[in-house]
Amino acid sequence: MKRKSGQNPDITRNWKPATLAVRGGTARSEYGETSEALFLTSGYCYDRAEDAAARFAGEQTGMTYSRLQNPTVEMLEQRIALLEGAEACRATATGMAAMTAALLCQLSAGDHVVAAKAAFGSCRWLVDTLLPKFGIATTTIDGRDTAAWEAAIKPNTKVFFFETPANPTMDVVDIAAVCAIAKARGITTVVDNAFASPALQRPMEYGADVVAYSATKMMDGQGRVLAGAICGTRDWIDSVLLPFHRNTGPTLSAFNAWVVLKGLETLDLRIRRQSENALKVARFLEGRLSKVNYPGLESHPQHKLAMRQMEAAGPIFSLYVGGGRAEAHGLLNALELVDISNNIGDSRSLMTHPASTTHYGMAEEARLEVGITEDMLRLNVGLEDPNDVIADFDQALRAIGR
Ligand SMILES: *Cc1c(COP(=O)(O)O)cnc(C)c1O
């Protein structure tokens, strides 16, 4: 019986991402099940006391406790590592658990971090509030400005942290250029790749050291569970991340890992179709509004760079309705098909007002500095027929006089 699929590196080396997304990491039980088994177990039993001792001593392979290992979670970790082209991956309970662990596991009091200003609200909170609380200094810069990364380096700089495209301004960071600057100074780059997913952008191919995910978004893709993942070299995962991860316990549940495994099977299909749909909707909205921030549009100032490092621009973009909060909320309230929701990566079209939701916790000054104004909205384009989404925007824009 062929129990294992996607675990022989001599064979999987030639598999394309769409194949890896369906088969990578599969480890079948003695029953030979087609779909991955869901192991809802917190612990494991041993035939003899000596076996338990040997496993804890690392002299015998096998699982000991689900905070440390679980067969379903391990299948997901292997599949994500294969998709990313990473040596190893560790799954986490949420995307924020991934970002927190990826940073804290390698930082100590006295270290310095440089981070892009345009980022997910909670990622900014880590940089602006959590790290300084533990004596880790941080500098935030315009991530689009490659020279600003170099200029912000101090003798104690340990980490560069950014997302691209960034939530919700859609700023694009030149991954290869910024990683090259970091590499030359022995700085570790941590890239939050939630918006693109490994189906559209693989930062390690451009020199990133660590790639972290909210798997809640494109990887689940159907708005069901929260999950996260951290990818790196085998040595970094084992020696830097694992001691932190095993002892602090941001572990992913087996059930959620199973849901994300199922989500990954359709990731490639979904993200390509959603990117096509997003481009159609963005082109329509560009004709009606003063500004649409979508890296897939030629009008995006970093369109060429985005298309060089991404295979498609993804399902998410932001737009400005003009006016203020009243106009932005008015458009949201007038939509019939598109839901008001702050989630992204879903197969449903969802829209939110970042200033009053995802970026509510960020100081107003910091919001305005990166372009999160009161009239900005962020849209996730789903798998519906894009003509229906366009028709919905057409009627809602007319309702607010646009
Ligand atoms: C959603 C998101 C996160 C946080 O992920 P959760 O799974 O919600 O914890 C981090 N970074 C980016 C870019 C995100 O979009």
Atom of ligand 1 nearest to the CA of 194: 13
CA distance 175 to 198: 14
Region 363-370 average pLDDT: 91
CATH 3.40.640.10 domain range(s) in the chain: 2-264
Answer yes or no: is pLDDT of 328 > 60: yes
CB 132 within 8 A of CB 158: no
CA distance 62 to 381: 43
Region 308-313 average pLDDT: 98
Nearest CA to ligand 1 atom 4: 95
Each residue's pLDDT tens digit, 89-117: 999 999 999 999 999 999 999 999 999 99
CB 228 within 8 A of CB 96: yes
* Ligand 1 binding pocket mutation candidate from 80, 122, 170 (most atoms within 8 A of CB): 122
Each residue's pLDDT tens digit, 114-167: 999 999 999 999 999 999 999 999 999 999 999 999 999 999 999 999 999 999
For residue 183 the two structure tokens come to 């590499």
Strands 350-352 and 339-340: parallel
Proportion of the chain in helix, strand, coil states, percent, rounded to 5: 40, 15, 45
Atom of ligand 1 nearest to the CA of 167: 13
CATH 3.90.1150.10 domain range(s) in the chain: 268-399
* Ligand 1 binding pocket mutation candidate from 100, 117, 161, 167 (most atoms within 8 A of CB): 167
Pocket of ligand 1 from Cβ distances under 6 Å: 94-96, 99, 120, 122-123, 163, 167, 192, 194-195, 214, 216-217, 226, 228, 344
Return the amino acid letter for 69. Q
| Helical residues (DSSP H) of 3-70, grouped into ranges | 9-12, 17-23, 49-56
For the 2-264 domain, the top CATH level (class) is alpha beta
Each residue's pLDDT tens digit, 23-52: 999 999 999 999 999 999 999 999 999 999
pLDDT of res. 315: 98
CA-CA-CA-CA torsion for 15, 195, 71, 24, nearest 10 degrees? -10
Answer yes or no: is pLDDT of 1 > 70: no
Work out the pLDDT band at 261, boundaries 50, 70, 90. very high
Atom of ligand 1 nearest to the CA of 163: 13
Work out the pLDDT band at 10, boundaries 50, 70, 90. confident
pLDDT of res. 361: 85
Work out the pLDDT band at 362, boundaries 50, 70, 90. confident
Atom of ligand 1 nearest to the CA of 99: 10
Rounded to the nearest integer, the mean pLDDT of the chain is 96
Q: Which residue has the tokens 């990731």?
A: 267
Atom of ligand 1 nearest to the CA of 227: 7
CA distance 297 to 291: 11
Answer yes or no: is pLDDT of 6 > 70: no
Answer yes or no: is pLDDT of 239 > 90: yes
Answer yes or no: is pLDDT of 12 > 90: no
Nearest in space to 136 (alpha carbons), one of 99, 108, 96? 108
CA of 122 to the centre of ligand 1 (A): 8
Question: Half-sphere exposure (CA, 13 Å, Cβ side) for 318?
Answer: 27
CA of 60 to the centre of ligand 1 (A): 37
**For 268-399, CATH number?**
3.90.1150.10
* Ligand 1 binding pocket mutation candidate from 80, 191, 214, 344 (most atoms within 8 A of CB): 214
Strand ranges (E), 129-242: 137-141, 157-163, 188-192, 210-214, 228-232
CA-CA-CA-CA torsion for 171, 176, 178, 184, nearest 10 degrees? 180
CA of 296 to the centre of ligand 1 (A): 21
Nearest in space to 80 (alpha carbons), one of 311, 252, 313? 252
Q: Is the preceding peptide bond at 386 cis, omega within 30 degrees of 0? A: no
CA distance 4 to 85: 19
